Amino acid sequence: MSWLDGLRHRTHVLLHRSEYDAELAEERRFHRGMAQAEGRAGEGPDSEAYEAVRAPRGGGGGWRGRLSTLADRLGQDLRYALRGLARSPGFTSVAVLTLALGVGGNAAVFSLLDRLFNQPPPGVADAERLRRLYIQMPRWIREDGRSGNFPAYSYAAFSAIEALGGDAYDVAAWTPSREETLRDGTLAMPVHTTFVSHDYFNVLGVAAELGRLFGNAEARVDMPAPVAVIGHALWKRDFGLDPSVLGRTIRLASGDFTVVGVSAERFTGLDLSYTDVFLPLGAYSPSLQSPVPWYEGTTSYLLAVARVAADSDDAQLSERATAAYLRRGLPGRASQRIDSTEVILAGPIVERRGPGSRAGPRDRDRAVSISTPRRPPCRLSSSSGQVSS
């Protein structure tokens, strides 16, 4: 590794130049001393001649000379390398492209993982006091002990938890964003929409860039309020930051909505995909058909986020939310009963961390459990006496 030795030497010279100059002077004194001791002092060139040779370029001598010599050499190397690259443009472009793709790919993957495991959603205020709420279902814990935590709530469960928050926490709900087509006059564009409870922006601490956010007028879940808040990115991309977007009617799959506001610039919703349009929960209609309105059924359409009050903590949040959750009304089918072993857990707001995790990714099955709840691990005896799972 001779180049490494050489590099180490050059680095040492560059970084410790005054010490190195002193070393060289001492070395010369030693040489002269030895020569004198052996009676050869008269021979050899004097120190000026020596110095001139030591610092052939860059004037000044000493470290300056060495530095400029080094710079000269680096410059030569660089020019040589560039000439070589210019001579073979094919190789050069392949190399540059490879590097560019590598760097770009790494950056993209890093920012995705960062968002999944480290960063809270952008644009929310005081993210350290925000919690995702999970329902811990002991009966659903798998035999290997993994994840019995469920992130979604029926409206009945959510409103029970919301009602009991008091001064311990505020809670808001939203539906996972879905893609649909927005029509504005002759324009049609794909957007991600989400339905949010009227407190959503308050709980997250997101302000309006323009117009207003949802208020109590949009709180009724059984009464669709035809208003929409659009995201800043959509406003910029498709409306050219035009303030006259307020009052405009946009058409979505769920109906026509009047734009009443634009959310703050950095905020893009709580989902990984940027949310473009926020609509009040009252306008929500799940694609699943059911004999009762969705908000009266037991299906879990909603995700919940809570803001812990400054003088409260996770334990109090969990306790109070659990009490509220277990007292929720059960409209719809009477066959379903409240399971008193279930507990509401407060988890980090970070996308892919489940409840109770601080350091690393956990709860990898969450995404799965949203769409396909696993069967309980308990074994049921069939009538024939055989055991099936």
Partner 1 sequence: MPKSSDNPRSELLPGTLEMLILRTLAAGDLHGYGIARHIEQASNGVLRIEQGSLYPALERLLEKGWAKARWDRSPSGRRARYYTMTPSGQARLDRKVAEYERVVGAITQVMSET
Check: CB of residue 317 under 8 Å from CB of residue 168. Answer: yes
Nearest C-alpha neighbor of 377 from the set 185, 139, 157, 103: 139
261: its two tokens = 């506001």
Closest CA to 247 of 236, 256, 237, 255: 256
**Cβ closest to partner 1, residue 8 vs residue 266:** 8
User: Nearer Cβ to partner 1, position 19 or 179?
Assistant: 19
CB 233 within 8 A of CB 274: yes
Collapsed DSSP state (helix, strand, coil) of residue 194: strand
- Is 357 strand, coil or helix? coil
In angstroms, the first-to-last Cα distance of the chain is 64
Beta bridge partners of 262: 210, 230
Nearer to partner 1, 28 or 183 (CB): 28
Closest contact distance (angstroms) between CB of 83 and partner 1 is: 23
Which residues contact partner 1 (rule: CB under 8 A)? Answer: 1-10, 23-24, 26-28, 30-31, 33-35, 37, 43-45, 49-50, 52-54
Using CA of residue 295, residue 296, residue 299, residue 302, what is the dihedral sign?
positive
In the complex with partner 1, the residue whose CB is nearer, 10 or 64, is 10
Q: Which is nearer to partner 1, 23 or 179 (CB)?
A: 23
Rounded distance between C-alpha atoms, residue 363 and residue 244, angstroms? 44
Q: Which is nearer to partner 1, 73 or 237 (by Cβ)? A: 73
> Which two three-digit tokens encode residue 267?
């905020």
- Tokens representing 180? 């649909």
Q: Which is nearer to partner 1, 33 or 243 (CB)?
A: 33
Distances in Å between the Cα of 290 and the Cα atoms of 225, 271, 298, 299 are: 21, 26, 11, 10
